[in-house]
Amino acid sequence: MSNAIIEVLLVEDDEDDYIITHDIFSEIEGTKFIIDWVRSYNAALEMMAQRQHDVYLFDYRLGEYTGLELLEQVRANGCQSPIIFLTGQSDHEVDIKAMEAGASDYLVKSQLTATLLERSIRYAIERTRKLEILQQRDEQIQRLAAIVESSADAIIGLTLDNTIINWNQSAERIFGYQANEVIGQSINILITKQIAYQFTELLDQHKQGLHIDNYEVICLTKAGKDIDLSLTISPIKGLSQEIIGTSIIARDITYTKRVEKALLKSEEKYRLLFEASPEAMWVYDIETLKFLAVNDAAIARYGYHYEEFLNMTICDIRPKEDVDRVLESVKNLQTSPMFSSNWRHYKKDGSLIWVDIASHTIQFNDRDARLVLAIDVTERKRAQEALIEERLMLTCRVEERTADLSLANAQLARAGQMKDEFLASMSHELRTPLNSIIGLSEALQEGVYGILNERQSTTLHIIEDSGYHLLSLINDILDLSKIEAGKFELTPDWIEVESLCQSSLAFVKQSATKKHLKISFIIDSQLDKIWADDRRLKQILVNLLSNAVKFTALGGTIGLEVTADAETQTAKFIIWDTGIGIAPEDLGRIFQPFVQVDSALSRQQSGTGLGLALISRMIDMHGGSISVESELYKGSRFTVSLPWQQEKLSTTNELFGENHSSLPNVIKRVLIVEDSSTTAEQLVRYLKDLQIETVVHFSENGVFEVVNRLRPELIFLDILLPEPVGWQILEQLKADITTNNIPVIIISVIDEKRRGLELGAADYLVKPITREQLQVVINKISPSTLLMVDSNMRLLPGNEKLAKDHSVNAKQRLILLAEDNESNIRTFSEYLEISGYKAIIARNGTEAITRARENSPDLILMDIQMPGMDGLEATRCIRADVELADIPIIALTALAMPGDRNRCLQAGVNEYLSKPVNLKGLITAIEVQLNRSQHAGSNAG
Ligand code: ADP
């Protein structure tokens, strides 16, 4: 203090007093005072606003103000510096007032000495300093108290005898006690009895100065509930560092404890799972790959002891070749669980097992480790392998079976194809001779070949009848097989019902008359037309009517009744008779093929039992049905119901416009392309009766030339010539702009009406053809242009040149006939001679070559199937011989198999004809070949 400078502001209105006071200051030794003097209240405030002094001396009287008022103002301005009053006289009351107002001292001027003044100033300064310190402490304490109060932890203060003296808000919250309930109480009210002793000991220990951190204890709340707390216990020290009490900071760790317990519990659970798992489990160190723990199942399965395991790495139980894969998979480990299959592990005994692995990263004893579950799938693997083997075997078997099946299928397809071929050749082979039988007997009866006597006529009639009978039988069989094979086709059209019924009745009229049967016919007038296949519907009616006639005794009645029901859109054809009837037990069977009722009466009648079977299928194909009612000896009644729509009728009138039927004779010239002379002659006769001229062309070759030359108004075209090339001819005729307007009517032994119509034919007739059929189709055709032949098959103008060429050529030509069948040799050679050729014979291939070399024939007819060297071989030899190579060869074969034609052509034949060979067709073929070779020869020459 002695060197310190003390700045003083003296507020004194009296100059003399100032001088006295200043002098007294100067008497004070050791302390330097800087004294500022102001004389008034306001000057004092001004000065104080400018700077602060260490101490203020105020005269008690300051003009109109008192020193007290100045003090109050100074304190109000925030100044805390010590203020000492100087006054003229001692006044105890003023003295008290000044002290109360905050003055540090009160000095009487008259008694003022240097010592007194110095002491008073020093005391005032010191007091102010201490007051400041106290104030700061107070603030600090308040701050601390606020911190204590706002702490989330309970803060409890204890005296040395463990009495609670502090209790903050969190303590209230945690323990449930208000401060006033616990202050003054022992800490033991918070401690459970079980640990009270232990806790007191702990508190005693810490009183030695020990600081205790995170002491976990269970305490009691006011509500008697256990509460987990973590305590920090510290001694409270007095000013001289002596321990005067204890502070306890208690943190509520109930939640943490709960989590810990749950964790412990789950750890326990997992430990149990690990231990008790029936599958091998282990933990290995991700870094060293060493086993860190294994369960009993692993020990049992792998055969290693626990310690042995712990001395191994996970690579030690793998086959060497798998180690790289193991290391790779460890390298790529993710923390998430992983599953992988197809691992192989060695057991201690050296055997290999297959395992699937599930693994998960865990912390184990502070190491990054992997928990592994290894499931032994060796058995499953074996089963799978067995299964795969089994499957392979099955696949093989299936393949074998498939191969067998494909073979069987191929065989079936082949069988189907053979059946089709058989059907086609049946229809051809059976209908062709029948066609001749029927056609020729008819021609003979008509006197074409001369006048017949009555016996001859009757005999021929029998032949013709039998021919027709046979034909219908063949037709039935073929139709039935076609239906069975799904190859039967209907060609429906709008047909006039009444005329169909009339013509069907006409069919049975003769036989009915013979038996003196009455015929009844009733037709519903609204039933004008029906959409059906006319030929088949007629076949149905004729069949039922014929049966009616057949099974009705002399003098009985048969009838045809046709009704129409617009509502049900049905037309009904009822064929009834008063004949022998059918027993109830037989009614169900009569629609089966080859079934005839075995009764004395019906056995008197001929038949095949095919008719009803066939027509019932046809009716079915029309979308209709057939039913029968019958009573023995009373008669039968067959009802055929067919779909019928009235409203369509009017739209179709044009199709069968009457104009067509009234213009039959507009056609003047018809070309018949037909290899069968019988059919051709028959057609020529029928057409002649209609005053139509005809030209017959016997071969499939040159049809276009003839058509273009003759410009016929109508063409009759056979399909089998004898190959089914008629289809191509039809297509070509229809494709060519110069010929496509000429109507073509197909005549064929094969029944493929739909195909014919689709290809553009105007109509389709199945041989043998009747006059009526021809009349009907001709009536349908509208006129165009043409020219003709006479009934003796003499060729008319356009064909005369060709005929002339034939005979001119023929007379000069030598034909070599290579054929082994004697009857064929006779037929062919005679026909060749008649036609003006010279024929020489060879009976096998070798002979044919020799004869050819000896005679240089103009043409060779070569049978293919011959003993020794066959026709194909002989052809090849001839073609290889320079001398003979140019001779035209026509192959004749009895086996019309697919591919035969090509084989023959490849061997070198010029033409191919299958037997039975149509003789006229043969001549045409010979002529074509001779003409060609002549042209070739002259060109070469
Ligand atoms: P079939 O050619 O033998 O007449 P169908 O199939 O036409 O063959 O008839 C089968 C059988 O049904 C006949 O043999 C006959 O026994 C019996 N049947 C058919 N129609 C009549 C009928 N109108 N009256 C009596 N029996 C009939």
| Cα Dmax for the chain | 205
pLDDT greater than 70 at residue 796: no
Residue 775: which pLDDT band, with cuts at 50, 70 and 90? Answer: confident
- Segment (H or E) for 67: helix 67-76
Query: How many percent of the chain have pLDDT more than 90?
Result: 27
**CB 599 less than 6 A from any atom of ligand 1:** no
CB 750 within 8 A of CB 823: no
- Residue 13 in tokens: 């209105």
Helices (H), 515-657: 534-550, 584-587, 600-603, 611-621
Distance (Å, rounded) from C-alpha 930 to C-alpha 801? 16
> pLDDT digit string (tens) for 34-93?
999 999 999 999 999 888 899 999 998 888 888 889 998 988 888 888 999 988 877 888
**CB 602 less than 6 A from any atom of ligand 1:** yes
- Range with the largest mean pLDDT of 330-339, 581-590, 598-607: 581-590
Ligand 1: centre distance to CA 534 (Å): 23
> pLDDT digit string (tens) for 203-222?
887 777 778 888 888 888 99
- Range with the largest mean pLDDT of 598-612, 665-679, 868-882, 904-918: 868-882
Q: Which residues are within 8 A (CB) of 820 and not within 5 positions of it... i.e. 6 or more apart?
A: 843, 844, 863, 865, 866, 867
Residue 940: which pLDDT band, with cuts at 50, 70 and 90? Answer: low
Find, among 595, 585, 347, 613, the residue nearest to 476 by Cα.
Answer: 613
Give the pLDDT score at 917. Answer: 60
Give the pLDDT score at 505. Answer: 93
329 vs 314 pLDDT, higher one: 314
Give the pLDDT score at 811. Answer: 55
**CB 502 less than 6 A from any atom of ligand 1:** no
Distance (Å, rounded) from C-alpha 829 to C-alpha 707? 32
Residue 100 identity? E
pLDDT greater than 80 at residue 337: no
**CB 607 less than 6 A from any atom of ligand 1:** yes
Distance (Å, rounded) from C-alpha 33 to C-alpha 118? 10
- Residue 905 in tokens: 């052509």
Residue 598: which pLDDT band, with cuts at 50, 70 and 90? Answer: low
pLDDT greater than 70 at residue 458: yes
Residues facing 256 on adjacent strands: none
**CB 472 less than 6 A from any atom of ligand 1:** no
Determine the residue of 477, 545, 551 to mutate for testing ligand 1's pocket, defined as the one with the most ligand atoms within 8 A of the Cβ atom: 551
Question: Mean pLDDT over all residues of the chain?
Answer: 83
Checking DSSP bridges between strand 32-38 and strand 859-863, what pairing results, if any? Answer: unpaired
Give the pLDDT score at 887. Answer: 93
**CB 759 less than 6 A from any atom of ligand 1:** no
pLDDT greater than 80 at residue 625: yes
**CB 590 less than 6 A from any atom of ligand 1:** yes
Give the pLDDT score at 867. Answer: 76
Can you point out the beta strands (E) in 399-543? 493-496, 518-523, 529-532
Ligand 1: centre distance to CA 547 (Å): 6
- Residue 383 in tokens: 């089963």
> pLDDT digit string (tens) for 238-297?
878 888 888 899 988 888 888 888 888 887 887 888 888 888 999 999 999 999 999 999
Q: Which residues are within 8 A (CB) of 644 and not within 5 positions of it... i.e. 6 or more apart?
A: 527, 530, 531, 564, 569, 570, 571
pLDDT greater than 60 at residue 486: yes
**CB 609 less than 6 A from any atom of ligand 1:** yes
pLDDT greater than 70 at residue 601: no
State how far the alpha carbon of 657 is from the alpha carbons of 154, 744, 760, in Å.
121, 19, 20
**CB 176 less than 6 A from any atom of ligand 1:** no
Distance (Å, rounded) from C-alpha 354 to C-alpha 345? 6
Give the pLDDT score at 888. Answer: 94
Ligand 1: centre distance to CA 578 (Å): 14
pLDDT greater than 70 at residue 790: no
* Distance, CA of 672 to chain centre: 58
Residue 565: which pLDDT band, with cuts at 50, 70 and 90? Answer: confident
pLDDT greater than 90 at residue 785: no
**CB 608 less than 6 A from any atom of ligand 1:** yes
Give the pLDDT score at 802. Answer: 38
| Arithmetic mean of pLDDT, 752-762 | 84
Residue 424: which pLDDT band, with cuts at 50, 70 and 90? Answer: low
- Residue 469 C-beta-side C-alpha neighbours within 13 Å: 9
Where is average pLDDT lowest: 239-253, 570-584, 601-615, 671-685? 601-615
State how far the alpha carbon of 420 is from the alpha carbons of 78, 464, 716, in Å.
134, 29, 26
* Angle ∠(390,391,396) on CA atoms, nearest 5: 100
Torsion sign, CA atoms 825, 830, 831, 832? positive
Residue identifier of the C-alpha nearest atom 20 of ligand 1: 547
**CB 576 less than 6 A from any atom of ligand 1:** no
Determine the residue of 480, 596, 619 to mutate for testing ligand 1's pocket, defined as the one with the most ligand atoms within 8 A of the Cβ atom: 596
pTM of the model: 0.39
**CB 596 less than 6 A from any atom of ligand 1:** yes
Pairs from 604-607 (Cβ < 8 Å, separation ≥ 24): 605/550, 605/551, 607/550
Atom of ligand 1 lying closest to residue 599 CA:
16
